[in-house]
Amino acid sequence: MPNPNELTPDNSALVLIDEQPGIALLTQSIDKTLLINNVAALAKVAHALEVPTVLTTIDAHGAVANPIFPEITDVFTDLEPIDRHMTNAWADPEVRAAIETTGRRKLVMAGIQTEVCLAQTALSALRDGYEVFYVSDCSAGSTPEAHQDAKDRMLKAGGSPINWVAVTAEWAPDHAVSQVNELLEVRSQRAGAGAMWANLNVASAAALAG
């Protein structure tokens, strides 16, 4: 049965912008452990469903090394983050080319800081006719107010706010997909209270397999 949702693995791409420890240290809008948990979950789901993904960093190889979260590179072992020096990733030709190569017009975006690199990139993509779904709980601002202001600005420009669990549910609404066990494992490890439901399903699947 066709996926009736707006986001599917076949019509969207994931863009993770500057999910780096050195930048996360500058943020206060979300607990950093929770941020990493959420980003790792989103990355694992995208990888399991073979959603085209673009990773970007900013000044990762400067005087102080600031690579992307290892929780992301542990998932995308063959995908090299594109490093750049401009806050707006959309202005970087290599990043633009990587996104265009996916052939997708719906972009699921997350990044830090929300009010700088994510907002600039998302607003530019919207101006160029792309649809942007910004994952608010995989992004972080310097303050809660800055994070909210940036979300409001992207919303006003036509972007759509979403969280990682909602993205997962839209990408895989059918629990009979072949990757269901991988997705249940992600939710059982990363979905907080929602993990209780996933753990019941994991146990049921194991019982049926046994």
Task: pLDDT tens for the chain, 210 residues: list them.
Answer: 567 789 999 999 999 999 999 999 999 999 999 999 999 999 999 999 999 999 999 999 887 789 999 999 999 999 999 999 999 999 999 999 999 999 999 999 999 999 999 999 999 999 999 999 999 999 999 999 999 999 999 999 999 999 999 999 899 877 666 666 666 777 767 565 454 444 444 444 444 444
Task: Please give the Cα distance from 71 to 21 (Å, whole number).
Answer: 11
pTM here is 0.87
> Is 156 a member of any domain?
yes
| pLDDT value at residue 1 | 53
> Is 1 a member of any domain?
no
Q: How many degrees, rounded to 5, is the angle at CA 98 between CA 95 and CA 102?
A: 140
| pLDDT value at residue 90 | 98
Q: Which of 30, 36, 117, 184 is catalytic?
A: 117
| pLDDT value at residue 191 | 63
Q: Which domain does 179 fall in, by range? A: 175-210
- Asked if residue 108 and residue 88 are part of one domain, the reply reads yes
> Is 152 a member of any domain?
yes
> Is 203 a member of any domain?
yes
| 138 is a catalytic site residue | no
Task: Please give the Cα distance from 56 to 64 (Å, whole number).
Answer: 17
Rounded to whole angstroms, what are the CA distances from 122 to 46, 88, 133? 19, 9, 9
